[in-house]
Structures are given as structure tokens and as C-alpha cells.
Amino acid sequence: MTMRILLAEDDAALRAQLSAALRWAGYAVDEAADGRETLFQGETEEFDAVVLDLGLPMLDGLSVLQRWRQAKRHMPVLILTARGSWNEKVTGIDAGADDYLTKPFHTEELLARLRALIRRAQGQSSPLLRCGALTLDTRSRRVACNSQPVSLTSHEYKVLEYLMHRPGMVVSRGKLTEHIYAQDFDRDSNTIEVFIVRLRKKLGPAVIETVRGLGYRMAA
């Protein structure tokens, strides 16, 4: 999806596997291998969702989650727990987690749960986003305008999906840049203008409005 995810997992092999799957699914992914780094990133960066292992070293995931919620950080959090640790699940949900997965799990289920968490956080109950004659299916990553399929590049799709998740809201170039690129990517907000121009050519000039000095928004 068009979203930025924080992946906090101390198992290097599992972290690499999940990171690759998330990037393949279109997410911008930042990684953390211990609780202190996870806490810091969640307090200083904007994420659309977090995948949080409770068994992190230095500072456990439950403590990280509690501190985020105390600091009014409300991004959706999907916790990962060990098999049979039902008490961890209950404690995690009570601490402010939005969902949980028990290890081992199928990557497809993690991706599906993330999609659902992000939809709920944005007030969307359906995986199909609509804006006038424009539709975007977050499961298949397919876009259509007037029922005709539209071919988009990965970054064009990310920009469009982020805007369609926020109908009527003005989104700045900086905010778009933050959410479609991972932290370690060489970010250049000027490239957003290029993607907007390309999207207008493919979808029509009136689909995305420019709000002078502020950013962009999907037209009603």
C-alpha cells in the first residue's frame, strides 16, 4: 500500500522476510531490532501502522506500546506474540494494541490484517476506495477510471492511494514524501510534483486539486 510501516522484530531472519514481503506489497518500511530504537522511531517519526514484536531486547514491546499510548501516539499497532501466550495477547490489547498475530503465522495473514487496520484508522470499511468515477482496490492494487483500468507505476500508485485514503483533506508535499519513502531513502519532495503531473495525465486534470501553498487533495 501507499503507507509507511515500522517493523520492530529482533529475529534478523524473520525481520528480513517480513520486510521483503511488506515492500513487495508496496509499503515503505522502516526497521528496528530492539525496544529502544523502536520507541524512539515511534516517538519521532510518522507511521501509518506498526508491526511490533513483544519480545524485543533492551525494552520489551509491551513497554514500548504503553509509552507510545501514554504519549498520545495513536498509530495502529499489530503485535506479534509467541505461540500459546494468551496472557500476552490480552495484556497487549489492554495496553492499546489494535490486533495481534501468534507466531508462526502466514505472511498473507499479516498483510491482510495490516490492510484492515489501516482502513479502520482512516474510517474506511471497504478495501475498495472510490472518488467519483475513480476506484482503487487496495487488495489487488488495481485502479480504474470510468470502469477502465489505469496502469500506474509503483510511486504513482502510492501517491494516489495516500490521497484517496484522505478524501477532502489537504496533504502537503512533505507529508506525501514522508509516507511513501522509508526513512533511509533519499527523499526529494520535488519528485511528488512529477507524480502528480503523471497522475493528472492518466486520470484527468481535475482529479487531484492543488491547494496553493498547502499541498494536494482529491477532488470531490
* CATH number at 4-121: 3.40.50.2300
Question: In whole numbers, what is the pLDDT of the chain averaged over residues?
Answer: 87
Q: Which residues contact 97 (CB under 8 A, 6 or more apart)?
A: 52, 65, 77, 78, 79
Tell me: the pLDDT tens digits for 114-162? 988 888 877 665 678 888 889 998 878 889 998 899 999 888 898 998 8
pLDDT of 1 reads 42
The reply to whether CATH 3.40.50.300 applies to domain 128-218 is no
Residue of 66, 16, 59 whose CA lies nearest to 38: 59
Domain boundaries, the chain: 4-121, 128-218
Alpha-carbon span 185 to 120, nearest angstrom: 28
* CA terminus-to-terminus distance, the chain: 22
Under-50 pLDDT residues of the chain: 1
Residue of 108, 154, 134, 137 whose CA lies nearest to 200: 134
